[in-house]
Structure 1
Amino acid sequence: MSFGFWALIPVIVILVLALITKDTFISLFLGVVVGFVMIAQGNPVMAFNKFIDALYTVMCDSNTAWVLMICALFSSVIFLITESGGVLGFSNLAEKVLKTRKQTMIGTWILGLIVFVDDYLNCLAVGAAVRKIADRQKISREMIAFIVNATGVTMCAIVPFSSWSAFMGGLMQKADMLGGLSVTGAYIHTIPYVIYGWLAIIVVPLICLKVIPLFGPMKKAEQRAMETGEVQSPEAKALHGELPDEELKFKDKKCRAVNFLLPILVIAIVAVWRDDLLIGVFAGLLACLIMYLPQRLMNINQYFNGILQGITDMCSMLVIIIMSYVLIEVNNQLGLVDTIVGAALKTVNPALLPVTIFVVIGLLSFASGTFWGLAAIAFPIVGPLGAALGVSPFLCAGAVISAVAFGGQICMYSDTVMLTSSSTQITNAEYLRTSGPLVVIPFVLAVIGFTIVGFVAA
């Protein structure tokens, strides 16, 4: 059964409910319910059975297991390095350099640029590293979340030796878009055309330095933090609880920054070496064991209890991740991607192909909550289409990568937004409400950029 553009209804339900209820899980769940009711043609029993089937499919998928293990165990790493005093030690060290609000925000941006190996690592590590010093400077958690995620997906997309470049380069090869070059060489030629990635990164310091003035919900969040000292909203406090007084907890104890930096460095190095972030996370847990026990920061029981506590702290986010994957199943059964891509890309002027790719795939990524999966669908369509119309394969690839990077930065139920929200301790709905208007700035500029480049290259 073809639903056509009616396939957008579940996504619209989710976005509207997220803005009204400010609750991510309720919005996702009801959107999924609406989708399965549509698929079952109004039969509630059939809709429930299809939901159970989709849930079973998602939970049995190896990619789901990989993501859930990374998120759960990385939360354990963050809990352990926090309990060791490592996060506070890093914050104390950073505070000697970052003494003002602007310096702290720019420092967060720079740290995000440095941790470019993997977007998951970036979102989780940078958020945990800077939130304490940001609290001292009365920077809202919403602003920190915007900065962290703006440099997470986008930086990984424009570096030729990250998890993104490896995956996207492989898709370019399968779509015959290498132009006679090696995978790495082709990706390097594509990087200048990842226009959205560059713009998203450049916009952050312009906002931090007030070259671009704040507006909308983010402005209100910053005013709340500066005027009242409340860096979290009431909704975030209800979800994550009151902020702990770490200074009091570690009073008269020496907090070493190395207890934060070394485990994170081990994760990054092992992840690159073994080409698997999950192995890197296990290596980080081992590094914590080797470092913290000899320093008597914790005993063996506290270490393993810390691992379990970290997983427990991530439970609500894991449920949201699972539900977002069920939503992807709903969208697939509704034919959302095939309908929109098929309608938009196959009757387009060559000069307008790059901007059409960016807008259509970008909005689909925002709606569907997936970027690597959507890229895997888009490249086999975009590659032959670009070749038939005589458009540069690197320009087309840059448009696809830009589009899915945009979706990863703005969609409240994408992996990176969920992890950023977790590490900065805000809700996903808050992220969409506050960061969404700011993300529109590089999106509009990228639309203009792809339009100009398309006509120049035509």
Structure 2
Amino acid sequence: MTGTFISVLPPLVAMLLVILTKRVILSLGLGALTAAIIIGGYQPLDTLQIFFSSFIALFITDEGLNTWNIFILLFLLILGSITAFISLSGGSRAFGEWAMKRVKTRVGAQLLTVVLGMILFIDDYFNALTVGQVSRPVTDRQKVSRVKLAYLIDSTSAPLCVISPISSWGASIIALIGSILVSHKITDYSAFSAFMQIIPLNFYVWAAIIMVFIIVVGQIDFGPMKKHEKQAIEQGILFDKKKQLKDEVQEELPISTKGTVGHLVWPIIVLFIGTVSMMAWTGINGAEGNVSLVSLLENTDVALSLIVGGLLSLAVAYVQFAQVLKKDDKLTSNFYLKATWVGMKSMFGSVLILIFAWLLGDLISQLGTGEYLASVINQSNLSHDFIPVILFIIAALMAFSTGTSWGSFGILLPIAGDIAVATDISLLIPAMAAVLGGAVFGDHASPISDTSILSATGAGSNLIDHVITQFPYAFTAAVAAAISYIILGVSGSVIIALAALIVMMAGIFLVVKMFGTKTEKMI
């Protein structure tokens, strides 16, 4: 049954169940079980043996422990603890108070949100909630509508996380790419090197970020956002009080009033410097004397580097919390264990999604799902040039329907890899980039997306209002990205495709400036 139409059944089962149940882990697990049933010839004992053998192989191989996968999962847990201590120590609160004294204009308040969103790239959940908590008092004072704040948060959380190698998303994506390269015996480049090549090809991310600056710096709004901004400026109505806002996230930890801006900044700086330094050190050692930027990137141990950077960052967060303990009588040393556990627990869902995504990817690779889909594309006489844009659209539809980028990554990245390898290996990087970009767009447009929900929550906005006002901006960026993928496929040139994207965004700016509502005219 491998390499036939039946091989498409497992990912279809996973997709359908995600849409119907909204339970990503269960859906990925049942999709993987379906693949094991087919591979095992519908024999119960063989099915169980295949399923559990593949599961164990995620952590233990013939060569010993699979340190790559193990380190990636440990990094996610460490990252959760770092986030918990930043909040507990009052770092986010202190930064918000600092910013309120210095930001004096509407553009400044929005740019603060954008810059924070681009800096706090380590995790989309952390980004959405932290940026919302920090920026909201500032944007409220400058009469920026809550839906506008939610848009700025949403459009600088997932897009930055998906192109940052030292974020929870980046680490997980690199891990998925690594499994794809191994399954197809691709040794021309490492998983990290492939991820770095994907970054400039993630056209939706660049289009979305450019769109944010067009809207903020140009002080222009269009679509439903125009109404909300006008009400905020002219009447001081920041959100519709008749609509029930989503309740604030119930914190399991208190927030200290003794924290400083450094309690937010230093753990992030140490995470970045520690991880990059370790990547350089492992890359130099792996290059064995033949040191260049390319050889360094290809030989670096990203998973180990993330662990070292994460542990250093967590150590800094621990030390800073010790300083806060001496000043805040409401806190006790018991919070060391509690905050560590609460932070790790917040990542359990992401860890399980990643594990089952790995499992499904391995099993559908054994089934030859990608090879079958590739043969369908070949028989349809569809030009290979359109594979990236087709994958972009499919990923967008899936993420929109399911509300999850991670689930879409887990299901579609291995399939994209299979299709590219079976048709044209040069399309592997563009195909994976298209999946990542399409999934982020679908996530932005979906009312059941976790990042949309958290962005609305962090901003104090009504969820549906946020989705409705954000969609025209996200869709505009997606159209520009889709056209860029077509140009990439036809021309084969990344530079031409990126140049076309920039030209399109410049044209969009001129059109929006002509027909949109300039904010300063409302004042």
- TM-score over 0.5 for the alignment? yes
Q: 2:85 aligns with which of 63, 69, 80?
A: 80
Q: 2:15 aligns with which of 12, 17, 27?
A: 12
Counterparts of residues 391-402 of structure 1 (less than 5 Å): 396=427, 399-400=430-431, 402=433
In 1, distance between residues paired with 2:42 and 2:365? 19
Deviations 1:56-96 (A, max 9, x none): 44465544432322222111111112111111111222334
1:269, distance to aligned residue in structure 2 (A) = 0.6
Identify if the C-alpha distance between structure 1 residues 330 and 99 changes in structure 2 by more than 3 Å, giving closer, same or farther.
farther
1:312, distance to aligned residue in structure 2 (A) = 3.0
- Secondary structure at the counterpart of residue 226 of structure 1: coil
Say yes or no: does 1:257 pair with 2:261: yes
Partner of 1:390: none
Counterparts of residues 56-455 of structure 1 (less than 5 Å): 56-58=56-58, 62-97=67-102, 104-114=109-119, 121-123=122-124, 126-136=127-137, 137=140, 139=146, 143=151, 144-154=153-163, 194-206=202-214, 211-213=221-223, 226-228=239-241, 233=246, 241=250, 250=256, 253-275=257-279, 276-295=305-324, 296=326, 300-329=333-362, 331-332=364-365, 334-344=367-377, 353-360=384-391, 363=394, 369=407, 382=420, 396=427, 399-400=430-431, 402-407=433-438, 409=440, 434=467, 439-455=474-490
1:353, distance to aligned residue in structure 2 (A) = 3.7
- Secondary structure at the counterpart of residue 444 of structure 1: helix
- Larger displacement relative to structure 2 (279-288 or 191-200): 191-200
In 1, distance between residues paired with 2:263 and 2:242? 29
Which one-letter code corresponds to 2:13 in the other structure?
A: P
Which one-letter code corresponds to 2:240 in the other structure?
A: E
In 2, distance between residues paired with 1:54 and 1:225? 52
Identify if the C-alpha distance between structure 1 residues 114 and 242 changes in structure 2 by more than 3 Å, giving closer, same or farther.
closer
The answer to whether the Cα contact below 8 Å between 1:263 and 1:285 also exists between their aligned partners in 2 is yes
In 1, distance between residues paired with 2:34 and 2:416? 28
The answer to whether the Cα contact below 8 Å between 2:81 and 2:343 also exists between their aligned partners in 1 is yes
- Larger displacement relative to structure 2 (259-268 or 283-292): 283-292
In 2, distance between residues paired with 1:191 and 1:319? 26
- Larger displacement relative to structure 2 (369-378 or 336-345): 369-378
Identify if the C-alpha distance between structure 1 residues 35 and 385 changes in structure 2 by more than 3 Å, giving closer, same or farther.
closer
Alignment size in residue pairs: 409
Identify if the C-alpha distance between structure 1 residues 14 and 125 changes in structure 2 by more than 3 Å, giving closer, same or farther.
same
1:401, distance to aligned residue in structure 2 (A) = 5.0
In 1, distance between residues paired with 2:43 and 2:176? 39
Q: TM-score, normalised by structure 1?
A: 0.66
The answer to whether the Cα contact below 8 Å between 1:345 and 1:357 also exists between their aligned partners in 2 is no
1:260, distance to aligned residue in structure 2 (A) = 0.8
Deviations 1:170-199 (A, max 9, x none): 98xx6769xxxxx99xx78x8765533322
In 2, distance between residues paired with 1:308 and 1:86? 19
- Secondary structure at the counterpart of residue 239 of structure 2: helix
Deviations 1:230-260 (A, max 9, x none): 89636xx6xx53698x7xx54xx44310111
In 2, distance between residues paired with 1:243 and 1:106? 30
The answer to whether the Cα contact below 8 Å between 2:275 and 2:309 also exists between their aligned partners in 1 is yes
In 1, distance between residues paired with 2:339 and 2:135? 25
Q: CA RMSD in A?
A: 5.3
- Secondary structure at the counterpart of residue 146 of structure 2: coil
Identify if the C-alpha distance between structure 1 residues 8 and 210 changes in structure 2 by more than 3 Å, giving closer, same or farther.
farther
Deviations 1:92-149 (A, max 9, x none): 223344567775554333334346xxx6x25355335312134544736964344311
Structure 2: unaligned runs, 5 residues or longer: 61-65, 280-304, 400-405, 494-523
- Secondary structure at the counterpart of residue 157 of structure 2: helix
In 1, distance between residues paired with 2:320 and 2:246? 36
Which one-letter code corresponds to 1:339 in the other structure?
A: Y
In 2, distance between residues paired with 1:199 and 1:374? 22
In 2, distance between residues paired with 1:8 and 1:376? 10
In 2, distance between residues paired with 1:166 and 1:50? 22
Identify if the C-alpha distance between structure 1 residues 39 and 372 changes in structure 2 by more than 3 Å, giving closer, same or farther.
closer
The answer to whether the Cα contact below 8 Å between 2:204 and 2:478 also exists between their aligned partners in 1 is yes
Partner of 2:26: 29
The answer to whether the Cα contact below 8 Å between 2:90 and 2:260 also exists between their aligned partners in 1 is yes
The answer to whether the Cα contact below 8 Å between 1:127 and 1:423 also exists between their aligned partners in 2 is yes
Identify if the C-alpha distance between structure 1 residues 277 and 133 changes in structure 2 by more than 3 Å, giving closer, same or farther.
same
Identify if the C-alpha distance between structure 1 residues 113 and 317 changes in structure 2 by more than 3 Å, giving closer, same or farther.
closer
Identify if the C-alpha distance between structure 1 residues 212 and 273 changes in structure 2 by more than 3 Å, giving closer, same or farther.
farther
In 2, distance between residues paired with 1:210 and 1:6? 46
In 2, distance between residues paired with 1:403 and 1:128? 27
1:337, distance to aligned residue in structure 2 (A) = 3.1
Identify if the C-alpha distance between structure 1 residues 15 and 313 changes in structure 2 by more than 3 Å, giving closer, same or farther.
closer
The answer to whether the Cα contact below 8 Å between 1:154 and 1:405 also exists between their aligned partners in 2 is no
Identify if the C-alpha distance between structure 1 residues 302 and 166 changes in structure 2 by more than 3 Å, giving closer, same or farther.
closer
Partner of 2:287: none
Deviations 1:303-344 (A, max 9, x none): 233212322343344444444444434544554333324433
In 2, distance between residues paired with 1:191 and 1:321? 21
Which one-letter code corresponds to 2:317 in the other structure?
A: C
Partner of 1:180: none
Identify if the C-alpha distance between structure 1 residues 130 and 343 changes in structure 2 by more than 3 Å, giving closer, same or farther.
same
